[in-house]
Structure 1
Amino acid sequence: MELIDQCRREVFKRLWAHYSQLVPIVPKLNQAFKDRGEDWTEDHVAYRTLPGEFTGAHILQGVFEALGYSRKDDYFFEAKQLKAFWLCPPDVQGHTRDASPKIFVSELIPTKFSSDFQEVIRRLGSQVTASPLRRIQQLRDQVRGGNQLAIEQMTRECVTLLTTFPSWSRPSLRDYEVLKKESEYASWTMLFGHQINHFTVSVHLLKSFQGIRAVADFLEKDLKVPMNHSGGVVKGTSDLLLEQISTMAVDIDYAFQEGVEKVPYGFVEFAYRYPMSDKKHDGLWQSYYQGFVTSNADKIFESTFKK
């Protein structure tokens, strides 16, 4: 195994542990699927970002490129004023179970929001005065050069960036409400920055369910998990080659300047990818549609909406 591959897999192992700790529904669901004899395979991991010289999607792109990823398709979300892209892992030559998850990165476009809103975004970004990428890229070069000690250092740097709170000062409830009034996406990202928004499970690899609606019924009816019904519980169709469902986000305690409040954090998504027209349903990564569908993702974003 290449040393960068070793580093990438360790990064995801630690990211998964962090996410599972913050989103208590995750180990519960994981165990429920194991009880049915199912393996839990991640399809993709999603991140949200706010713009800035040393924040934003380009920072996450640099982190994952250092781990061997390559940038693919771009997307635009008119209603939510977001731009996005996904990154392809390098280990996609065999079975999907053996591949690293795809990465979906989105970034807010603040220009069409109010002046108060834009001022909060500008103020947050201006507080981040150095790029976290230089150190990660230096360590990547050392790992590629065969430095075994650099593997742990690079792993730690990547995980720290992707699990800690943003570099700007602790948010006030006023700023949170200013952003939330116009964009729930922005208010969430102000609180959590580059932390994981959600992991996604590959439904097409499951054996005991007849399609994604059966998974939705299992989650909602059997396990009593609150589901995202925006646009319907199942987003997408077989014609689009991608169907998705998601739970609603769990609430966690967040320490604002004024005190602790409960806010929505993370959720779990499930994706069914259909084989390409000339391919079979054989489990091989290259056999399935691997992109994203904006109309689906637009509704998945609403899993963190507080009702």
Structure 2
Amino acid sequence: MGSLDLPYASSFKGGSETFLQNVFESILKTYLRKNPMAKTIWELVKSVDNEKISYDHFFFRTFKVDGYGIDSLASFFMDYGYKVGGRLDFPKKKVQVLWLSPPDVHFPDNGYGIGNGPLPRLVIAELLVEELSPESQEIIRKYLKPEGGKQAVLSSTLGSLIWEKPTSTDFNQLAKESEFAAWTLVYGYTMNHLAFAVHRLKHRFSDIKCVKEYFEEKGFELNKDGGVLKVSEDGLLLQVSAMSEKLVVEFADGVTQIVPASYIEFVERLVLPQFKDMPCDEIKEFHRREGLEQASAYHIMESTRFTANNSNMGSFDLPHSSSFKGESEIFLRNVFENILKTYLRKNPTAKTIWELVQSLDNEKICYDHFTFRTLKVDGYGIDSLSSFFMAYGYKIGGGLDFPKKKLRVLWFSPPDVHVPNDGHGLGNGPLPRLVIAEVLVDELSPESQGIIRKYLKQEGGKQAVLSSTLGSLIWEKPTWTDFKQLAKESEFAAWTLIHGYTMNHLAFAVHRFKHRFSDIKFVKQRLEEKGFKLNSDGEILKVSQDGLLFQVSSISERLPVTFADGVTETIPASYIEFTQRQVLPEFKDVPLDEIKEFHRREAFELDNANHVMESTRFTTKF
């Protein structure tokens, strides 16, 4: 494919550039975590080039079936300004490829990496499933349920399959016809490879021939298909790729096999002939050869070649995994794990309390509920989060209204999944309830509505769960002036505008603890002894009218936030809660070791919830 002179996208369609960069950072971290050899090469490049690295493109594989194809990823990035650069077709592989050029964002002359360097191109390949044999089609469709592709970007950031893990039988049968299909079925939306932009590197890595020699000397296996150094017909696009390493994969039927994973590539784009006389320090990306090369791309895809029948390494028992609506429980649990990690990373005091509980209860902790705050406007309200979780079996448990706060709350009960008797945490314990609150924006003053609508662009709420896992705002960071003005009318709205979909608080299930923390009065006493400030609004120990629901919460710590206009102020962050649900009177004679969650007091108490929300009270009036 020759050089394409296509314009770069000039702007984002609303939404935060920082959010997009955080998505890329998370995709990259997942790729490096899952591919040790690629990480080793990446670290070598960083060390040689003084950590100033730039990327040419990120590459993904998909299935063209039931919304799982190219568009499942491309639609997200095109919302952030990416534009179609060109297409490639590979009839023999039954694959087509789309590449996207990045938006034109400002970065300093010495900018590098994802944080302040040029954004990478995106290359997304899709397997034309309908061109496969009926048997292969049936295998793929068995795993890929309708609409699951909506979570493609989230899946890529987590490195977790949306669908159930395949059996080795299905994998091996599929690999006979299409290695591309088999690879994608087992790795999903995890990035297939990244490519360094050699022409942006410094020192010895700025010449792709030196790159090739360096990694050959280091003993890395390079892709020889079509020659180690792949050169386009016009001589302006040079590419070298490593062969993917082979990793152990555990299949759903207990069989383990060695399967090719991801790999890494180097790309050098030479200056176009019409710009050859330009000074080197004035050369920009658009002065260089653009696009991809059909033949080279074909050969590079062979970096994941299955060199032999994959070794069967025996079988072993895998933990039970229930499914609901046909999708992966593991994926849902991974979403929760990442939401929790982000919450703990962003809230040091909450993390300290969490670690205290973990240490006292021998690390066997369980959660009662996770709570989020939203803004009911243009698709950003409760449904922006709940629609995802309801697709995984969550059901509406009830609602609460807070007219004075102009709030509405819905809580959701988790799906009935198998939990071992000693199950705990998010890995194999009971799933938490979800509590999602929304500000009724239309009931606020016109001025407050104007502030909120200025930041929240239409359809941005589609990425609510992704935002929560990353802890990154979908919208632009607000100014201190707007934040302060909004807080005068609604502290809840102001808190949500600055913290977004980051989890507002988690609640431990005290009644599921062992040892001393199984009594909420002891919890209260221990936290006070440790000097943690507890929420005394409506009493520290909040008791429901029926005496069966007990709650204690901390006061959120105040953390410095730098606003868009450069002002830095301390703002309430998230907090932590403890909830104890007593056994219902009709089950008081059930033996303790037979008590299940449904034997206990369910739901929430309006007055208590109103008081608990004061844990993020702004002590300063603006």
Return the TM-score normalized by structure 2: 0.43
Secondary structure at 1:75 match in 2 = strand
1:45-69 deviations in Å (ceiling 9; x for gaps): 0000001222111111112113321
> 1:187-226 to 2 correspondence within 5 Å?
187-206=494-513, 207-209=515-517, 211-221=519-529, 223-226=530-533
Provide closer, same or farther for how the CA distance between residues 76 and 266 of structure 1 changes in structure 2, counting only shifts above 3 A.
same
Number of the residue aligned with 1:265: 573
Secondary structure at 2:328 match in 1 = helix
Q: Which runs of 5+ in 2 are unaligned?
A: 1-320
Instruction: Check if 1:286 corresponds to 2:598.
Output: yes
Q: 1:57 aligns with which of 382, 386, 389?
A: 382
Instruction: Check if 1:304 corresponds to 2:616.
Output: yes
1:82-112 deviations in Å (ceiling 9; x for gaps): 1111111113676684310000001112344
What is the deviation of 1:209?
A: 4.4
Q: Which runs of 5+ in 1 are unaligned?
A: 134-156
Number of the residue aligned with 1:48: 373
Amino acid in the other structure paired with 2:381: G
Mean alpha-carbon deviation: is it higher for 109-118 or for 292-301? Answer: 109-118
Amino acid in the other structure paired with 2:354: N
What is the deviation of 1:129?
A: 3.5
1:154-212 deviations in Å (ceiling 9; x for gaps): xxx94444433332222011111111112111110011121100110011223314732
Number of the residue aligned with 1:254: 561
Contact 1:184–1:305 under 8 Å retained in 2: yes
Contact 1:61–1:71 under 8 Å retained in 2: no
Amino acid in the other structure paired with 1:203: V
Q: 2:346 aligns with which of 1, 22, 30?
A: 22
In 2, the alpha carbon distance for the partners of 1:248 and 1:295 equals 17
Number of the residue aligned with 2:450: 119
In 2, the alpha carbon distance for the partners of 1:267 and 1:213 equals 19
What is the deviation of 1:246?
A: 0.6
Contact 2:534–2:555 under 8 Å retained in 1: yes
> 1:39-118 to 2 correspondence within 5 Å?
39-91=364-416, 97=424, 98-118=429-449
Number of the residue aligned with 1:132: 462
Task: Report the count of equivalent residues.
Answer: 282
Instruction: Check if 1:184 corresponds to 2:496.
Output: no
Contact 2:467–2:474 under 8 Å retained in 1: no
Percent of matched pairs sharing the same residue? 26
What is the deviation of 1:14?
A: 1.5
What is the deviation of 1:25?
A: 2.2
Amino acid in the other structure paired with 1:293: E
1:98-154 deviations in Å (ceiling 9; x for gaps): 3100000011123443331222233333x2345526xxxxxxxxxxxxxxxxxxxxx
Mean alpha-carbon deviation: is it higher for 43-52 or for 244-253? Answer: 244-253
Amino acid in the other structure paired with 1:274: Q
Amino acid in the other structure paired with 2:510: V
Contact 2:558–2:572 under 8 Å retained in 1: yes
4+ runs deviating over 6 angstroms:
none
Provide closer, same or farther for how the CA distance between residues 117 and 158 of structure 1 changes in structure 2, counting only shifts above 3 A.
closer
Number of the residue aligned with 1:174: 481
Provide closer, same or farther for how the CA distance between residues 34 and 183 of structure 1 changes in structure 2, counting only shifts above 3 A.
same
What is the deviation of 1:13?
A: 1.4
Amino acid in the other structure paired with 2:538: G
The root-mean-square deviation of aligned C-alpha atoms, in Å, is 2.3
Amino acid in the other structure paired with 1:250: E
Contact 1:220–1:226 under 8 Å retained in 2: yes
1:239-264 deviations in Å (ceiling 9; x for gaps): 24211111111222322112232211
Q: 1:276 aligns with which of 584, 593, 607?
A: 584
Number of the residue aligned with 1:239: 546
In 1, the alpha carbon distance for the partners of 2:549 and 2:444 equals 31
Contact 1:93–1:286 under 8 Å retained in 2: no
Contact 1:45–1:103 under 8 Å retained in 2: yes
State the structure with more CA Rg.
Answer: 2
Secondary structure at 2:585 match in 1 = coil
Provide closer, same or farther for how the CA distance between residues 61 and 17 of structure 1 changes in structure 2, counting only shifts above 3 A.
same
Return the TM-score normalized by structure 1: 0.84
Provide closer, same or farther for how the CA distance between residues 81 and 91 of structure 1 changes in structure 2, counting only shifts above 3 A.
same
Which structure exhibits the higher relative contact order, with contacts defined as CA atoms closer than 8 Å and separated by 6 or more residues?
A: 1
Contact 2:382–2:438 under 8 Å retained in 1: yes
In 2, the alpha carbon distance for the partners of 1:28 and 1:76 equals 32
Number of the residue aligned with 2:47: none
Amino acid in the other structure paired with 1:44: H
Number of the residue aligned with 1:153: none
In 2, the alpha carbon distance for the partners of 1:109 and 1:128 equals 17
Contact 1:235–1:244 under 8 Å retained in 2: yes
In 1, the alpha carbon distance for the partners of 2:540 and 2:406 equals 23
Number of the residue aligned with 1:10: 334
In 1, the alpha carbon distance for the partners of 2:502 and 2:417 equals 25
In 1, the alpha carbon distance for the partners of 2:618 and 2:467 equals 28
Contact 2:542–2:550 under 8 Å retained in 1: yes
Secondary structure at 2:345 match in 1 = helix
In 1, the alpha carbon distance for the partners of 2:379 and 2:442 equals 18
Secondary structure at 2:379 match in 1 = coil
Mean alpha-carbon deviation: is it higher for 105-114 or for 195-204? Answer: 105-114
Contact 1:228–1:300 under 8 Å retained in 2: yes
